[in-house]
Amino acid sequence: FGTAADVDGAHKAADKTLDLPEFLVDIEQRTNLGAFFPHRVTYHSSCHGLRFLKLGDRPYQLLREVEGIDLVPLENFEECCGFGGTFALKNAEVSQAMVTDKTRHVKDTGAEYVTGGDSSCLMNIGGALSRQRSGIRALHMAEILASTKEHPWTPETAAYSKEKML
């Protein structure tokens, strides 16, 4: 667990660390980033974002400003997707039931994409949607906010950028 100095250092780092919506809305005071994403999208609010970070409507403020987006509400948005650290391993059946409920709600929106700010949630939800052959893709909110008319997000550009990072 470390020394008192390690813990103090961790607290200092945490005090300076912000989630993307916090940084953009609260610090930069920007909601319109010039993004363009002409698709039907629903937003998954992660447990961490809702309960610990208390992001509130900041992600929605950003997504509502995306040109072309058809942002549709997700029923029971506050419910967990069932992933949560080791929860999915220790409680596999409950976890599976939770993600099944979540994907049902995502499919009910008619969205092409489900987005959010938590990569773990998006992997869990996206994996379940893929296994269900729903055709709905999970996409991190940062990818939508970075998409522009000049440089639109596509599966091909996403694959290219991931290759460039490796």
- Is residue 58 assigned to a domain? yes
14 pLDDT band, cuts 50/70/90, is confident
Residues 36 and 152: beta-carbon distance below 8 Å: yes
Q: State mean pLDDT over 66-80.
A: 96
Tokens 């729903």 belong to residue:
134
Structure tokens at 131: 């296994």
DSSP string, 137-153: EEEEHHHHHH--SSS--
pLDDT digits (tens, 9 = 90+) for 115-132: 999 999 999 999 999 999
Count of structural domains, the chain: 1
Nearest CA-CA partner of 81 in 121, 50, 116? 121
For position 165, what pLDDT does the model report? 44
Tokens 């969205």 belong to residue:
111
Q: What angle do helix axes 92-108 and 119-131 make, rounded to 10 degrees?
A: 80
Could you tell me the residue range of the domain that residue 54 belongs to? Answer: 36-165
- Is residue 142 assigned to a domain? yes
**163 against 100, higher pLDDT:** 100
Look up the CATH number of the domain holding residue 59.
3.40.50.11810
166 pLDDT band, cuts 50/70/90, is very low
Residue 163 pLDDT exceeds 90: no
41 pLDDT band, cuts 50/70/90, is very high
Using only the alpha carbons of the chain, give its radius of gyration. Answer: 17
Residue 18 pLDDT exceeds 80: yes
Nearest CA-CA partner of 33 in 55, 11, 59, 8? 59
Tokens 């991931």 belong to residue:
162
Q: What CA–CA distance (Å, rounded) separates 153 from 156?
A: 8
- Is residue 116 assigned to a domain? yes
- Lowest mean per-residue pLDDT among 1-5, 42-46, 53-57: 1-5
Residue 1 pLDDT exceeds 70: no
